[in-house]
Protein backbone atom coordinates (compact mmCIF):
# COMPACT_ATOMS: atom_id res chain seq x y z
CA UNK A 1 0.00 0.00 0.00
CA UNK A 2 1.46 3.33 -1.07
CA UNK A 3 0.34 6.93 -1.45
CA UNK A 4 1.23 8.24 -4.90
CA UNK A 5 0.25 11.68 -6.21
CA UNK A 6 -2.43 12.06 -3.54
CA UNK A 7 -4.01 8.67 -4.20
CA UNK A 8 -3.94 5.48 -2.15
CA UNK A 9 -2.89 2.89 -4.71
CA UNK A 10 -5.12 0.06 -3.40
CA UNK A 11 -8.28 2.16 -2.95
CA UNK A 12 -11.26 2.07 -5.25
CA UNK A 13 -11.72 5.62 -6.56
CA UNK A 14 -15.11 7.38 -6.38
CA UNK A 15 -14.68 11.08 -7.07
CA UNK A 16 -16.58 13.44 -4.80
CA UNK A 17 -17.21 17.01 -5.94
CA UNK A 18 -17.09 18.11 -2.29
CA UNK A 19 -13.52 19.33 -1.93
CA UNK A 20 -11.36 22.35 -2.60
CA UNK A 21 -7.74 23.43 -2.31
CA UNK A 22 -5.75 23.15 0.90
CA UNK A 23 -4.72 26.69 1.90
CA UNK A 24 -1.14 25.74 2.85
CA UNK A 25 -0.80 22.26 1.27
CA UNK A 26 -0.28 20.95 4.82
CA UNK A 27 -1.24 17.53 6.20
CA UNK A 28 -0.55 17.34 9.92
CA UNK A 29 -3.61 15.56 11.33
CA UNK A 30 -5.67 12.41 10.69
CA UNK A 31 -9.31 12.50 11.82
CA UNK A 32 -11.16 9.20 12.35
CA UNK A 33 -14.93 9.24 11.77
CA UNK A 34 -17.68 6.68 11.39
CA UNK A 35 -20.75 6.64 9.17
CA UNK A 36 -23.47 4.32 7.95
CA UNK A 37 -26.66 5.07 6.07
CA UNK A 38 -29.20 4.42 7.39
CA UNK A 39 -27.57 4.30 10.82
CA UNK A 40 -26.50 0.76 11.66
CA UNK A 41 -27.08 -0.61 8.14
CA UNK A 42 -24.00 -1.73 6.27
CA UNK A 43 -22.97 -2.66 2.76
CA UNK A 44 -25.20 -0.25 0.85
CA UNK A 45 -24.19 2.37 -1.69
CA UNK A 46 -25.74 5.21 0.33
CA UNK A 47 -22.50 6.59 1.81
CA UNK A 48 -20.86 6.76 -1.62
CA UNK A 49 -24.00 8.44 -2.94
CA UNK A 50 -23.93 11.00 -0.09
CA UNK A 51 -20.27 11.87 -0.66
CA UNK A 52 -20.86 12.13 -4.43
CA UNK A 53 -24.03 14.28 -4.10
CA UNK A 54 -26.15 11.47 -5.58
CA UNK A 55 -28.18 10.45 -2.52
CA UNK A 56 -31.93 10.43 -3.09
CA UNK A 57 -33.00 11.86 0.25
CA UNK A 58 -36.57 10.67 -0.37
CA UNK A 59 -35.46 7.03 -0.43
CA UNK A 60 -35.39 6.64 3.36
CA UNK A 61 -36.89 8.62 6.26
CA UNK A 62 -33.44 8.84 7.92
CA UNK A 63 -32.14 10.81 4.93
CA UNK A 64 -34.58 13.73 5.08
CA UNK A 65 -32.14 15.92 7.05
CA UNK A 66 -29.37 15.25 4.50
CA UNK A 67 -31.08 17.21 1.73
CA UNK A 68 -28.59 19.75 0.40
CA UNK A 69 -25.75 18.52 2.63
CA UNK A 70 -22.36 18.64 0.89
CA UNK A 71 -19.79 16.49 2.69
CA UNK A 72 -16.95 14.17 1.82
CA UNK A 73 -14.06 12.29 3.30
CA UNK A 74 -10.74 11.25 1.89
CA UNK A 75 -11.33 7.56 2.63
CA UNK A 76 -14.08 5.16 3.63
CA UNK A 77 -13.07 1.82 5.12
CA UNK A 78 -15.90 -0.65 4.62
CA UNK A 79 -16.77 -3.42 7.10
CA UNK A 80 -14.94 -5.83 4.78
CA UNK A 81 -11.73 -3.77 5.01
CA UNK A 82 -12.04 -2.56 1.43
CA UNK A 83 -11.17 1.10 0.94
CA UNK A 84 -12.82 3.76 -1.21
CA UNK A 85 -11.11 7.10 -1.80
CA UNK A 86 -13.32 10.11 -2.53
CA UNK A 87 -10.87 13.02 -2.43
CA UNK A 88 -7.13 13.10 -3.19
CA UNK A 89 -5.04 13.73 -0.07
CA UNK A 90 -3.61 16.81 -1.77
CA UNK A 91 -7.08 18.42 -1.60
CA UNK A 92 -9.23 19.54 1.32
CA UNK A 93 -12.16 17.19 1.91
CA UNK A 94 -15.21 18.50 3.75
CA UNK A 95 -15.28 16.07 6.69
CA UNK A 96 -14.64 17.80 10.02
CA UNK A 97 -16.95 20.79 9.75
CA UNK A 98 -16.62 23.40 12.48
CA UNK A 99 -13.56 22.08 14.29
CA UNK A 100 -10.45 22.91 16.29
CA UNK A 101 -7.27 21.04 17.22
CA UNK A 102 -4.57 22.42 19.52
CA UNK A 103 -5.89 25.95 19.07
CA UNK A 104 -6.12 25.72 15.28
CA UNK A 105 -9.57 26.10 13.76
CA UNK A 106 -10.86 24.57 10.49
CA UNK A 107 -9.22 21.15 10.74
CA UNK A 108 -10.20 20.36 7.15
CA UNK A 109 -7.41 22.74 6.10
CA UNK A 110 -4.66 20.48 7.45
CA UNK A 111 -6.21 17.04 8.01
CA UNK A 112 -7.11 13.82 6.26
CA UNK A 113 -10.53 12.35 7.04
CA UNK A 114 -10.98 8.59 7.33
CA UNK A 115 -14.51 7.23 7.70
CA UNK A 116 -15.13 3.76 9.11
CA UNK A 117 -18.39 2.15 8.08
CA UNK A 118 -20.19 1.89 11.39
CA UNK A 119 -21.92 3.75 14.18
CA UNK A 120 -20.49 5.41 17.26
CA UNK A 121 -22.17 3.00 19.69
CA UNK A 122 -20.96 -0.26 18.11
CA UNK A 123 -17.66 -2.01 17.45
CA UNK A 124 -15.72 -2.20 14.21
CA UNK A 125 -14.48 -5.29 12.36
CA UNK A 126 -11.04 -6.89 12.43
CA UNK A 127 -10.81 -6.21 8.69
CA UNK A 128 -11.41 -2.51 9.29
CA UNK A 129 -8.70 -2.33 11.94
CA UNK A 130 -6.26 -4.15 9.65
CA UNK A 131 -6.90 -1.68 6.81
CA UNK A 132 -6.91 1.33 9.14
CA UNK A 133 -3.57 0.30 10.65
CA UNK A 134 -2.01 -0.11 7.20
CA UNK A 135 -3.39 3.21 5.96
CA UNK A 136 -2.35 5.13 9.07
CA UNK A 137 1.14 3.60 9.03
CA UNK A 138 1.57 4.65 5.39
CA UNK A 139 0.37 8.17 6.26
CA UNK A 140 2.68 8.41 9.27
CA UNK A 141 5.61 7.37 7.10
CA UNK A 142 4.63 9.50 4.10
CA UNK A 143 3.98 12.73 5.97
CA UNK A 144 6.21 12.26 9.02
CA UNK A 145 3.27 12.42 11.39
CA UNK A 146 3.18 10.97 14.90
CA UNK A 147 0.62 8.62 16.44
CA UNK A 148 -0.56 11.60 18.53
CA UNK A 149 -1.63 13.25 15.27
CA UNK A 150 -4.46 10.71 14.88
CA UNK A 151 -7.65 11.88 16.61
CA UNK A 152 -11.36 11.23 16.62
CA UNK A 153 -13.97 13.55 15.14
CA UNK A 154 -15.26 13.92 18.71
CA UNK A 155 -11.90 15.45 19.73
CA UNK A 156 -11.94 18.19 17.09
CA UNK A 157 -15.69 18.89 17.35
CA UNK A 158 -16.54 18.18 21.02
CA UNK A 159 -20.17 18.56 21.97
CA UNK A 160 -21.12 18.42 18.29
CA UNK A 161 -19.77 15.01 17.26
CA UNK A 162 -19.28 11.69 19.08
CA UNK A 163 -17.58 9.54 16.42
CA UNK A 164 -15.83 7.22 16.09
CA UNK A 165 -17.45 6.51 19.45
CA UNK A 166 -17.27 4.16 22.41
CA UNK A 167 -16.89 1.10 20.19
CA UNK A 168 -13.62 2.27 18.69
CA UNK A 169 -10.52 0.68 20.23
CA UNK A 170 -7.92 3.45 20.39
CA UNK A 171 -5.44 1.19 22.19
CA UNK A 172 -5.62 -1.33 19.35
CA UNK A 173 -4.85 1.38 16.83
CA UNK A 174 -2.08 3.08 18.79
CA UNK A 175 -0.36 -0.13 19.88
CA UNK A 176 -0.55 -1.53 16.36
CA UNK A 177 1.18 1.57 15.02
CA UNK A 178 3.77 1.84 17.74
CA UNK A 179 4.69 -1.85 17.53
CA UNK A 180 3.65 -2.49 13.91
Q: What beta strand segments (E) does the chain contain?
A: 3-4, 7-8, 12-13, 19-21, 29-35, 75-77, 83-85, 91-93, 100-101, 104-105, 111-117, 150-152
Instruction: Work out the burial of residue 27: count CB atoms within 10 Å of its CB; fewer than 13 is exposed, 13-18 middle, 19 or more buried.
Output: buried
98 carries an active-site annotation: no
3-state secondary structure of 145: coil
Of 26, 115, 117, 134, the active-site residue reads: 115
CB 138 within 8 A of CB 126: no
Q: Give catalytic residues, as residue numbers.
A: 115
Amino acid sequence: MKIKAGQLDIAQQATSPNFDSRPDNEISLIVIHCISLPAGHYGSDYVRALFCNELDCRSHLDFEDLQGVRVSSHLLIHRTGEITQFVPFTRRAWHAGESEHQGRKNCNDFSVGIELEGIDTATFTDEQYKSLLEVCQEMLDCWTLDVADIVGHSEVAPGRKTDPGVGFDWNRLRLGLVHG
